[in-house]
Amino acid sequence: MIKDSINKKENNFLGIDNYLFGIGNFIKNINLYKINNIKIIKCDAKKIISKYIKNNSIYEIRIFFPDPWNKNKHKKRRLINKIFIKQLLKILEFNGTIHIITDSLNYFEYILDNFNYLLDKLNFFIKNIICYKNIFINTNFEKKSILKNNNIYYIYIQKNKF
């Protein structure tokens, strides 16, 4: 997001994170590069998206390395589930895109299953669900995954009208 905000000064960017550590690193880079088209919110993204963002108002959504909560008893804590996906698709403009990157194969498959489940239940369709392995975006989580020799999985989704 930092690189894009420098290259696309006419666009506005919103970063949402529930953890101060992530926000602190982000603010450090914003100050370093003197960027003024990014706003940051420390809050649960589900709350912000469901209450404060208008439908069809966001062109691009990026979710990088959400916590996979791999233990069965913790899976209910996952950020990306059917309800959250519906919220994302509501706020996304037509022809808008969602980019999701994870290093958890289990979570990757879970996310794809949830998008596929919703395909029949929505009044628009999702075009170009494209999945890649080992896409590189240069984040700290990505660096840790590479050191652990984990694969990195990328999902690209585009919302289109019927």
Give the per-residue pLDDT at 4: 58
Ramachandran sector of residue 95 (left: φ over 0; alpha: ψ -120 to 50; beta: rest): left
Asked whether residue 35 falls in the same domain as residue 53, the answer is no
101 shares its domain with 48: yes
On whether both 75 and 145 belong to a single domain, the answer is yes
Please give the structure tokens belonging to residue 89: 């698709």
Classify the C-alpha dihedral 82-94-65-23 as positive or negative. Answer: negative
In this structure, what DSSP letter does residue 42 have? E
Catalytic residue among 17, 44, 67, 113: 67
Per-residue pLDDT of the chain (162 residues; tens, 9 = 90+): 555 555 667 888 888 988 887 788 788 888 888 888 888 999 999 999 999 999 999 999 999 889 999 899 998 999 999 999 999 999 999 888 899 988 888 998 899 888 887 776 665 555 545 556 556 566 777 778 878 888 888 888 888 765
Q: Are residues 68 and 140 in the same domain?
A: yes
Same domain, yes or no, for 14 and 52?
no
Same domain, 53 and 102: yes
**Can you tell me the distance from the alpha carbon of 38 to that of 156, in angstroms, rounded to the nearest whole number?**
23
The verdict on 8 and 68 lying in the same domain is no
155 & 104 share domain: yes
Residue 85 is predicted with a pLDDT of 92
Give the three-class secondary structure for 162: coil
Which of 55, 132, 46, 135 has its CA nearest to residue 89? 55
113 is catalytic: no
Q: What is the DSSP letter of 103?
A: S
Q: Which domain holds residue 39?
A: 1-43
Radius of gyration over alpha carbons of the chain, in Å?
16
Q: What is the pLDDT of residue 160?
A: 77
pLDDT score at 150? 81
If one counts the domains in the chain, the total is 2
Q: Within this chain, do residues 72 and 131 fall inside the same structural domain, yes or no?
A: yes
What is the predicted pLDDT for the residue at 52?
94
**19 and 58 share a domain?**
no
User: Are 67 and 112 in a shared domain?
Assistant: yes
pLDDT given at position 138 = 67
Residues 38 and 58 in one domain: no
What pTM was estimated for this model as a whole?
0.82
- What is the CATH number for 107? 3.40.50.150
